[in-house]
Structure 1
Amino acid sequence: MGLWSTRSGISVNYSYSSSPTFAAEPWSVHTGRSRSSSSSSSRVSVFIFDKRKFENYLQKYGVIQSRSSSADRQLISDAYDIIRTQVNNLAKLKHPMLLGLVAPLEEHSKSFMFVTEYVSGCLSSIYQGSDSDQDLFNTESQDIIIQRGILQISHGLDFIHNTASSVHLDLNPRTVFVNEHSDWKIFGLGHLFKLAAGTNTAEYFMPQYDRVPPFMQLNLNYTAPEIVFENTVSPRSDYFSLGALVYFLYYGRNLFNCDNSTSNYRDEYSRFERKLSQMSWESIFSKLPDKVRATIPRLMSRDLYARYEDINEFIASEFFEDPLIKTLVFLDDLPTKSTEEKTVFLNGLADLLPKFPAQLLQRKFLTALLQLLDQSSSSNDINSECLSQNLHIIIQIGRSLSVYFQ
């Protein structure tokens, strides 16, 4: 792929592909590398928004008549404010389950751009089969991938709700990204709503535009009914979005198809309620594993107060009481564990490895265990049992991967 550049700090410090790796509306996402390092760890993602393409779209479809009238300039200004808010919120909010910002937003006459940790796709692009991560969801072990991803999103929402005192409002397959370690990261913070101190509900009026690109308004396919019907927002509104996302993950399609129209949303939601009255949650969500299906009414009930009171109640549900999930959680915390805890973990890991998909072994386990090997080898107090068991596990993973990738 060819490389291109503009006169900007990002282009000075990073080279990136001329064609995007994938698209996550409104951004084209390019694979890049730091010019100051040749190691694989220098790989990043460069997000680019083309102003000219956006404004031409508005004019082509009659959203604006020209770029000179005050009304048209205001609409363009509103769009660019959402772009700025998306990235500025990412700079303010730091959490392992939010997309990691590497270089802040740069604004140029023809574009916006910023740099993040490397991501291989968003859930939407992965399910459409436009990138290499598609295989993650086409294996017998896909449930553990999805289960872990939902847990990571939930931890991200816990931070947004309980630390940042905010509501995401736009959780959907285009706003969840997958990084090179198969971790799921939340983005799409352009509509983030800050709650007043000591409150957990607020009045909220959705921005209304006609025929604009989707990023300018909430994705109604994943929007909670109280936002549309009662102009009310709460952290529990994000639980509804999470439930709709869970449906997408197991069915590969949207639960609602509103075409960004509130009137269509009313029709779609009425049909959904009629279906619920005639069938049941279990029937509508029949493809979901039993333990997550049992949580759906507490995520998506029409009654705001019948949903979970806090996202941590969902995190504590039986759905996540799985030895494989607990293994992955421990692996994430491995650097903080004592040598004794690491040794016990490694001793029990060998029997569990065959239950994990190859991509997870390669991207998550191998990376973490090689880091542990480096840490153990350079320590002044080398624990031979921990070091030996770690080497044994690394060799075991290597053998399984060599068979898988033949």
Structure 2
Amino acid sequence: MFSSFASTLSTATSSSYKIDASYSYGNLIIPNYLGFWQVYEGASKKTGLKVCIFKFEKKIFEAHIRNKVIIKESYEKIALDVANIQKIKHPSFLNIIEPLEIHSKSFIFVSESISTNLKLKYGNDTMYTINNTGNKQNNSIVIKKGLYELSKALDFVHNKMKKVILNINPENIFIDSKGNWKVASLVGMQSNTDTYYDINYANEYEYGSNINYMAPELFFENKFNCSSDYFSLGLLVYFLIYGNDLIKTENQSIEIYKLEYKKLESKTLKIGYKNLFPLLVMNEKDFFFIRFLNNVLNKDYHMRCESLIDWINDEFNSNDGNKDNELIKTLLFIEKGEFYSVNFKSQVIFLNGLSKIWREYDHHILLNNVVALLLEIITLNIGEKQKEETDLEFFKLTINLLLDISFEVLTIEEFSTRIFMQLSFDKLMIINPVFEILLQRINVFQTKLESKQFLGLLNDVFFKKIIKTELVSTPDNAGLQSSLLSTEFIKTLSQCAEFELTKNFTDPILLKIFSNTQSLKIKLACLDAIDELISMEKINKYQMSDSILKIIENNKTTNVKITMSILQLITKLVQSDQFYVNEKNILLDRILPLLWRLSMTPNLNLSEFGKCQNIINYTTRRIQDLHISFIKSTAVNMPGPSTVMNKNSFHDIVQKVDISKSTNQFTGIEQKELQKLNRSAQIIKPKNDIKISSSVIQKRDMSLKNDNHSYTGPNSSNIMVPNNKNLDHNSINGISVLQPKLKK
């Protein structure tokens, strides 16, 4: 049947252990495939290409099977099976990279990378996962897509190769790294020109056969045709939903198969597939799997559908209200490359629709179909710096969709290898609106990258580009500056512990934008960003005093919004224990003059001016409080007159006096002159000696006190006395503070 088998066998037998020398082994991913194969992860030692290595240990096999005839037949089937698969170059069949090597102790061959098979993925507990609320629809789409791929494989075998497989089962259908289903064994393949099937399972072992998934005509009539493979797919659908075999036999017994099939047929005729298999009904509108079984599980193979691939295409194109059909058609639209065959307007419509339904796809479909398409679109559209508005919106839509999927679905490893390493940031950042999106979605990169990679992206890519090209000081980059100053961007930076915020962002970017921009919107955003950083304790007192406060003091903008925003910031600073509430010198020398200047901003209304005065008054009182505390603290340690006198005793003081030189002694001449002066002195009195009663004087004094004039009555010191009607008295620590009384 296969003339090349002999040459293949002889070549393989004479070869050395080339596979072991050229490939490294990894983890065991499928144990006991078809009984005795071990399937390992592998990689090429030269190129690093990921592969799978299939190894059949003869010693283990021969320890279980003693019959030498069966051993010989099995080895021949192994060589034939691998040779058959190797000949087929079709995406729905396993791709053989290195042909079978036959050694005295083993069989080895290398295939494309695969992750598992249907038996391992859907066996046993499938009924608990596929019907879970969150996974049911996703899994139904995956299974429908898999059946579509297997139908294409059967169409190729039946119509191109003119063969019938006859042995499709969960064990020999593999799932590759992209989630595609692949036929991996053709051990029982027959020519479709033959109609008679010679069944012979009397031996204790039959390599690669599983009669639980074979069509009944093979056992009841010894006949087969192409629809026999369709029957196998029907049995496979039951396994995918329920996790076990619909027809169960022991030791591949044909007699048991016949009994089990008759029971199934009887139940089906009585209640139908819908009632017999309720889990096959996905929802009130989705009866795809029930219709599938009705078309392929009929005992009379003449009553089965003639072309399964045509039937499935009709199902997917029907408008029965089943949302799966839309998802399947969308997926096939991507897989067949039809996206690039439609016009630009249709591409935009497609991406907008895809952005609404992508969450309903399986993880593998998203990663290997949807993400792959989006990366292709970005690669094809990345070249031109200047883009039309429509092209730019299309490009932004693509990037946002890619980042949405990355954030919600992909793992850190998948994002790093499948997306981050594939994006050309140097070219993306040339287009400012695209660069803005990357900055706006910075949380995606922070979440999905290792800290070292994220720091490199910020410092060596994003900020290096911004500083080098002076994007922060160019008026045309207001959109980019807004992205840098957004609350989301600031929070993301602050959450990265390893990122030096002051050195790499606050000083070289944030403060530079505030100093250079003429945009009111950007200046306000800068002040909001500073306020946010203060709230997150990412700006300290020293940085505020040395850098930020200087820039605010030098601000020449007299816009009322800027003034009130600065006032709000200063209010937080003068009331904060972390900043200036206890810093008398800064409050006096810097904050208070700044507040007075802000209060003189033109066009302030009375309410805004009142806010300025409130914080001015608060700051003034705070300065007074701090200074009073300072005086009290220093007065305790300063020496007073009483303390000086008490330093020495009375005896010590007297001992120091020299009586002979005392200034209290008058000379005789001085005494005589003084006496002469006293005798000659006369008292001059006024001519009109008017006596004023004390009551009159008191009335005059009280009158003066009630006026805002100098009081020069008895015991006065020429003091200005304020009129209580016009001024308010506030006492701070015993000291009266005069404040103007505002008109109400």
Offset at residue 154 of structure 1 (A): 1.1
Tell me how far apart the structure 1 counterparts of residues 186 and 295 of structure 2 sit (CA, whole Å): 24
Q: Which of 271, 296, 300 is residue 299 of structure 1 equivalent to?
A: 296
| 1:242 counterpart SS class | helix
**Where does residue 619 of structure 2 map in the other structure?**
none
Residue 41 of structure 2 contacts residue 113 of structure 2 at CA under 8 Å; is this kept in 1? yes
Aligned amino acid, residue 281 of structure 1: Y
Q: Which of 25, 33, 42 is residue 16 of structure 1 equivalent to?
A: 25
**Where does residue 216 of structure 2 map in the other structure?**
225
Residue 51 of structure 1 contacts residue 110 of structure 1 at CA under 8 Å; is this kept in 2? yes
Establish whether residue 28 from structure 1 lines up as the match of residue 28 from structure 2: no
Aligned amino acid, residue 231 of structure 1: N
| 2:52 counterpart SS class | strand
Q: Which of 367, 371, 376 is residue 366 of structure 1 equivalent to?
A: 371
**Where does residue 266 of structure 1 map in the other structure?**
258
Aligned amino acid, residue 351 of structure 1: K
Residue 122 of structure 1 contacts residue 176 of structure 1 at CA under 8 Å; is this kept in 2? yes
Offset at residue 185 of structure 1 (A): 0.9
**Where does residue 113 of structure 1 map in the other structure?**
108
The within-5 A match list for 1:354-393 is: 354-377=359-382, 384=392, 386-393=394-401
| 1:158 counterpart SS class | helix
Residue 29 of structure 2 contacts residue 116 of structure 2 at CA under 8 Å; is this kept in 1? no
| 2:258 counterpart SS class | helix
Aligned amino acid, residue 208 of structure 1: Y
**Where does residue 731 of structure 2 map in the other structure?**
none
Offset at residue 56 of structure 1 (A): 1.1
Would the alpha carbon gap of residues 326 and 107 (structure 1) be closer, same or farther in structure 2, given more than 3 Å must change?
Answer: same
Offset at residue 258 of structure 1 (A): 1.4
Offset at residue 167 of structure 1 (A): 0.7
Residue 182 of structure 1 contacts residue 364 of structure 1 at CA under 8 Å; is this kept in 2? no
TM-score (norm 2): 0.47
The within-5 A match list for 1:137-286 is: 139-140=135-136, 141-196=138-193, 202-212=195-205, 215=208, 218-259=209-250, 260-286=252-278
Q: Which of 398, 404, 409 is residue 401 of structure 1 equivalent to?
A: 409
Aligned amino acid, residue 199 of structure 2: M
Establish whether residue 50 from structure 1 lines up as the match of residue 53 from structure 2: no
Residue 43 of structure 1 contacts residue 117 of structure 1 at CA under 8 Å; is this kept in 2? yes
Aligned amino acid, residue 46 of structure 1: I
Offset at residue 401 of structure 1 (A): 1.8
Aligned amino acid, residue 330 of structure 2: T
- Structure having the larger proportion of residues in helix: 2
Would the alpha carbon gap of residues 15 and 367 (structure 1) be closer, same or farther in structure 2, given more than 3 Å must change?
Answer: farther
Residue 243 of structure 1 contacts residue 300 of structure 1 at CA under 8 Å; is this kept in 2? yes
Establish whether residue 328 from structure 1 lines up as the match of residue 335 from structure 2: no
CA deviations on 1:138-192 (whole Å, 9 max, x unpaired) are 6232111111111111111111111111111111100111111111111121111
Offset at residue 316 of structure 1 (A): 2.7
Tell me how far apart the structure 2 counterparts of residues 37 and 261 of structure 1 sit (CA, whole Å): 47
Worse-superposed segment, 271-280 or 110-119:
271-280
Residue 291 of structure 1 contacts residue 319 of structure 1 at CA under 8 Å; is this kept in 2? no
How many residues get paired? 377
Offset at residue 11 of structure 1 (A): 1.8
Tell me how far apart the structure 1 counterparts of residues 211 and 310 of structure 2 sit (CA, whole Å): 26
Tell me how far apart the structure 2 counterparts of residues 221 and 386 of structure 1 sit (CA, whole Å): 52
Would the alpha carbon gap of residues 336 and 25 (structure 1) be closer, same or farther in structure 2, given more than 3 Å must change?
Answer: same
Would the alpha carbon gap of residues 108 and 402 (structure 1) be closer, same or farther in structure 2, given more than 3 Å must change?
Answer: closer
Aligned amino acid, residue 30 of structure 1: Y
Establish whether residue 83 from structure 1 lines up as the match of residue 78 from structure 2: yes
CA deviations on 1:212-266 (whole Å, 9 max, x unpaired) are 1552xx3111110111111111110001000000111111111000121111111
Residue 30 of structure 1 contacts residue 47 of structure 1 at CA under 8 Å; is this kept in 2? yes
Aligned amino acid, residue 121 of structure 2: I
| 2:182 counterpart SS class | strand
Asked which structure has the greater CA Rg, the reply is 2
Residue 224 of structure 1 contacts residue 241 of structure 1 at CA under 8 Å; is this kept in 2? yes
Instruction: Extract unaligned runs of 5+ from structure 2.
Output: 1-14, 282-286, 319-324, 415-446, 448-744
Tell me how far apart the structure 1 counterparts of residues 301 and 19 of structure 2 sit (CA, whole Å): 44
Offset at residue 211 of structure 1 (A): 2.2
| 1:44 counterpart SS class | strand
Tell me how far apart the structure 2 counterparts of residues 115 and 380 of structure 1 sit (CA, whole Å): 45
Offset at residue 358 of structure 1 (A): 3.4
CA deviations on 1:249-301 (whole Å, 9 max, x unpaired) are 11111100012111111111121122223322322232213122023122010
Tell me how far apart the structure 2 counterparts of residues 283 and 390 of structure 1 sit (CA, whole Å): 45
Tell me how far apart the structure 2 counterparts of residues 185 and 136 of structure 1 sit (CA, whole Å): 21
Aligned amino acid, residue 159 of structure 2: N
Residue 173 of structure 1 contacts residue 245 of structure 1 at CA under 8 Å; is this kept in 2? yes
> What is the identity percentage for the equivalent residue pairs of Structure 1 and Structure 2?
30
TM-score (norm 1): 0.84
Offset at residue 328 of structure 1 (A): 1.2
Tell me how far apart the structure 2 counterparts of residues 395 and 270 of structure 1 sit (CA, whole Å): 54
Instruction: Extract unaligned runs of 5+ from structure 1.
Output: 1-5, 65-71
Offset at residue 365 of structure 1 (A): 2.3
Q: Which of 121, 126, 141 is residue 121 of structure 2 equivalent to?
A: 126
